[in-house]
Amino acid sequence: MTGSASERRRMAAALANKGVLTLPWLRGAVESVPRERFLHPGVFLDEGRTWRPLTALGSDPDEWLKIAYSVDTLATQLDGHLAADQVSEAVAGVPTSSSTDPTTVVGMIEALDLKAEHRVLEIGTGTGYSTALMCHYLGEDNVTTIEVDPQVAARADATLETVGYSTWTVTGDGLLGHPRRAPYHRVIATCAVRRIPYTWVRQTRPGGIILSTVGSWPWGTGLAKVTVKENGTAEGSIIKRSSFMQARAQAVTPVAGDLSARTAYADSEREARVSPLRLEEWVPAFLAQLSVPGAHFVRAATSEGARLLYLFDPERADGGGWVVRQGGPVALWDKVERTLIAWQAAGNPDITAVQLRVTDRSHAYWVDGQPALRWEHRVDGGY
């Protein structure tokens, strides 16, 4: 090992000490794959409201390695086009590609229960670092990775090639999977999806595993692990809290404009039976999304500083606070409130109590023994 060998060993030891990295082959991969190479041409460092570009060529080599081996998520693209070598000053923007923090990446790969002969489909290549970790064990022919952004895909493909993995890097929409190389033993998504696309189930062998973050709010999302059955359905549970950037086609456009005007015409007003502030907690937020899939959650304040919480669905606007005003054909808050009350009555179960089943017609979620915590989203119902 050369160059960054000691940083790689140090990072592997830190992940092992945290109990995240337990598999010997994966430790070997973390010690071998040079993360800094995957960050070219550079990264954007979070400065609160802006992002400071830092390029490999423009920085001190020691500083570059220190950043590359910090266990942080490092943004590598903003707003769907901007790379760190295209600006010299800090800029505002929204990260659209990144190298996910190694704790999350390694934790997800561990949860995949990989065997050396497995064929894997990865959705969201990003820098290609997670792809390389899997190639190290499975071999380049057994890993297919899909990236929706052509520039990101081209960069990842070139880096993977230079570090020695001529894997299958596909440019396209990973929500469709990649039928040409199916069936896969494992599907892993390193972007969040509103629900697991049935195409992934169809492209996975019976007994195979799909691992993906589900949900669409910036928090309150969970890591779903489902096993595909002989009958073409997939079943499993939410195994932990998890947070990822949303799959591009499903990214939520921020609700803009005068929110009070949008909610001025309420059809009803009443006291909330449960505090809407519950929606700022992870598990209630996850369950609320199951009750009103597709709704956007917006935090705001009045000019006097009083807090306002809004739930919007793509076509209809509803309001929520301690006094709840609802408008439009669907009473979003009524649905959310029923769920939160049932969750509290069940003793506030953790997100890991949620199980799910994916079929070609519907997505069912439930908590065992709790009839009021059960949802079925029909695929043709859309959201």
Interface residues with ligand SAM (CB under 6 A) are 96-100, 105, 123-124, 126-127, 129-130, 146-149, 152, 173-175, 190-191, 244-245, 247-249
Among residues 99 and 291, whose Cβ is nearest to ligand SAM?
99
- Listing from the earlier edge strand, what are the strands of the sheet with 74-78? 51-55, 42-46, 74-78, 95-99
Among residues 247 and 336, whose Cβ is nearest to ligand SAM?
247
Q: Which two tokens stand for residue 198?
A: 């049935």
**Marked catalytic residue, from 6, 59, 97, 98:** 98
User: Distances from the Cα of 18 to the Cαs of 5, 29, 66, in angstroms?
Assistant: 20, 17, 19
Buried b (16+ CB within 10 A) or exposed e, 166-205: ebbbbbebbbebbeebbebbbbbbbbbbbbbbbbbbebbe
Instruction: Yes or no: say if 170 and 144 are a contact pair by the CB < 8 Å rule.
Output: yes
DSSP 82: B
**Which amino acid belongs to residue 42?**
G
Geometric angle at alpha carbon 188, from 186 and 193, rounded to 5°: 135
Instruction: Yes or no: say if 195 and 203 are a contact pair by the CB < 8 Å rule.
Output: no
Angle of the 129-138 helix axis to the 24-32 helix axis, nearest 10: 130
Q: Minimum distance between the CB of residue 106 and ligand SAM, rounded to whole angstroms?
A: 10
Among residues 200 and 297, whose Cβ is nearest to ligand SAM?
200
Chain centroid to Cα 16, Å, comes to 23
Among residues 83 and 175, whose Cβ is nearest to ligand SAM?
175
The conformational region for residue 306 under phi > 0 = left, psi -120 to 50 = alpha, else beta, is beta
Active site residue 98: yes
Cα 42 to Cα 47: distance, rounded to the nearest angstrom: 16
Among residues 147 and 337, whose Cβ is nearest to ligand SAM?
147
Q: Which two tokens stand for residue 60?
A: 């001190």
Geometric angle at alpha carbon 282, from 331 and 149, rounded to 5°: 90
Query: What is the secondary structure of 250-278 as a DSSP string?
Result: GPPPPP-S-HHHHTSS-SEEEE-SS-GGG
Q: Which two tokens stand for residue 284?
A: 């209630």
Catalytic residues: 98
